[in-house]
């Protein structure tokens, strides 16, 4: 079972990467920081505030028997097909995810 050790907002002193959209979090930006534990595994998770809000909204719409924890937005394959439905509520997040997908496809041609 995943245990939350820390869940807070921080102001970045250096550049970080959002674990939800994989976009940059520039220095001086307030972002969400979480530190988690599952058995012997520990990890941190940084996210833009709007990415975290969208991930939570998406997770709230999933069936109750879904796996523990909120999946990162870019790891949720079903979400990529529904981006247009999120565009009105989270336009910046949708743009960052689309940019991530375009850069991924450019680096990994079929």
Q: What pLDDT digit, counting tens, does each position of 9-52 carry?
A: 999 999 999 999 999 999 999 999 999 998 889 999 999 999 99
Calculate the average pLDDT of the chain: 89
Count the Cβ atoms, other than its own, within 10 Å of residue 30.
12
Report, at the CATH architecture level, how domain 3-107 is classified.
Answer: 2-Layer Sandwich (3.30)
Instruction: Give yes or no for a contact between 7 and 74, defined as CB atoms under 8 angstroms apart.
Output: no
Query: Which pLDDT value is given to residue 68?
Result: 63
- pLDDT of residue 70 exceeding 60: yes
pTM of the predicted protein model:
0.86
- Mind giving me the DSSP string for 37-70? EETTEEEEEEEEHHHHHHHHHHHHTS-TTSPSSP
Q: Strand 16-17 to strand 24-25: parallel, antiparallel, or no bridges (unpaired)?
A: antiparallel
Domain locations in the chain as residue ranges: 3-107
Over 70: is that where the pLDDT of 74 sits? Answer: yes
């Amino acid at each position: 079972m995943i245990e939350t050790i820390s869940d807070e907002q921080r102001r970045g002193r250096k550049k970080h990467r959002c674990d939800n959209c994989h976009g940059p979090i520039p220095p001086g930006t307030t972002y969400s920081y979480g530190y988690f534990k599952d058995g012997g595994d520990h990890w941190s998770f940084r996210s833009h505030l709007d990415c975290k809000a969208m991930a939570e909204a998406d997770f709230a719409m999933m069936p109750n028997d879904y796996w523990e924890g909120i999946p990162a937005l870019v790891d949720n394959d079903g979400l990529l097909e529904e981006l247009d439905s999120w565009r009105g509520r989270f336009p910046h997040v949708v743009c960052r995810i689309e940019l991530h997908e375009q850069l991924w496809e450019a680096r990994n041609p079929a």
